[in-house]
Amino acid sequence: MINPLFFAKLVSPAPISALPAVSERLATPESSTRRRWPRDSQALPRGVRQVIFIFAAAFCLTPWISSPLALALGAILALTHENPFARLGKKISATLLKVCVVFLGFGMDLQVVLRTGLQGAGLAAATIATTVGLAWILGKRLGIDRKVSALISAGTAICGGSAIAAVGSVIGAGESEISVAMGTVFILNAAALYLFPVVGHTLGLTQVQFGTWAGIAIHDISSVVGASAHYGLDALQTATAVKLSRALWIIPVALGAAAIFRSRRGDHQTKTHSRQTMQIPWFIGLFVLASVARSFVPGVVDVAPALQHLAGTGLTLTLFLIGAGLSAKTLRAVGWRPFLQGVLLWLFISIVSLMLIVRFA
């Protein structure tokens, strides 16, 4: 015989307490998205975020947006709608930056490049040495991790992210340590892109003075070109030559950092690692070759303006991709001690170099 309780269970209504769980399962993704955005940067579907970033990147190829605005646009989108192309964008921006710098070489006379590089060699050596020394002192006083301190000093003294990547590869820096240094340099690099032209116009700096100052004190070549391009053609050429000549110091500084860390730790693995993975800025040689072609190969002068225009447009897109690579995780990784060290180093190299340039240039 069938138990009557069996039929009672079949026809009895569901408990009231179970209804909320059912309603939660039936909630549409759209309603959940509306509740969570903009607090959650992943609230929008990935496909929608892809469309947004593609259209923004395409907009950066038009003449209606400047380099500073492109950087700001990328950063705002990255923080409000997590970049669905973060890894791809990082690779593209690194390659595109090098290509654009080489294209700029086709518009620069070799004599100007060599004269600017040689004239700034002494100042470059002095500012790099003093910045690295000051970084060592500040790192000790602030109690900052030695590797993080070394990465921030290299990025400030030489050329931002490229120097951080090169030095980080030879001292065995971890992803978290590189993230702290990159985040610190990114914030200051973005600030310089906006502040330096304002300061230059306020002080009445000539184009050569501003270009020299920007090449020394702004971290990354992308922001150096972005800031100096709006100051004038002479400023752009001077800043590019100065910054690329400083970038050559990546090699001795990276080798010195590897020797110091190896001698202190006696780490044979670090020694082997540094020999295999040190990143050398070979594109600087291609930039010089482009300048040689512009100076000695007939017909290059005629196409140089078009190549420079392409370089300017490409650098605007590069700055957008750099800004789009920012994340809340990176910002949270930057503690106040490393950031303070970065700010003090940046103020030191900016003020000292500006005083020397105004006095002697």
Average pLDDT over residues 6-15: 45
Contacts of residue 169, defined as CB under 8 A and 6 or more positions apart, other chains included, come to 254, 273, 274, 277, 278, 279
pLDDT band, residue 149 (cuts 50/70/90): very high
Specify whether the CB–CB gap between 74 and 202 falls below 8 A: no
CA distance 223 to 190: 7
Q: Which two tokens stand for residue 132?
A: 């690295």
pLDDT attached to residue 10: 43
Q: Which two tokens stand for residue 354?
A: 């500006």
Specify whether the CB–CB gap between 77 and 52 falls below 8 A: yes
Q: What are phi and psi of 331, to 5 degrees?
A: -65, -40
Average pLDDT over residues 9-21: 45
pLDDT digits (tens, 9 = 90+) for 315-353: 899 999 998 988 888 777 788 899 999 999 999 999 999
pLDDT band, residue 355 (cuts 50/70/90): very high
Q: Is the pLDDT score of 13 beyond 80? A: no
pLDDT band, residue 272 (cuts 50/70/90): very low
> 3-state SS string over 154-222?
HHHHHHCHHHHHHHHHHHCCCHHHHHHHHHHHHHHHHHHHHHHHHHHHHHCCCHHHHHHHHHHHCCCHH
Instruction: Give 54's Cβ-side CA count (13 Å radius).
Output: 6
CA distance 349 to 123: 11
pLDDT band, residue 51 (cuts 50/70/90): very high
CA distance 59 to 27: 36
Domain ranges of the chain: 108-309+332-360
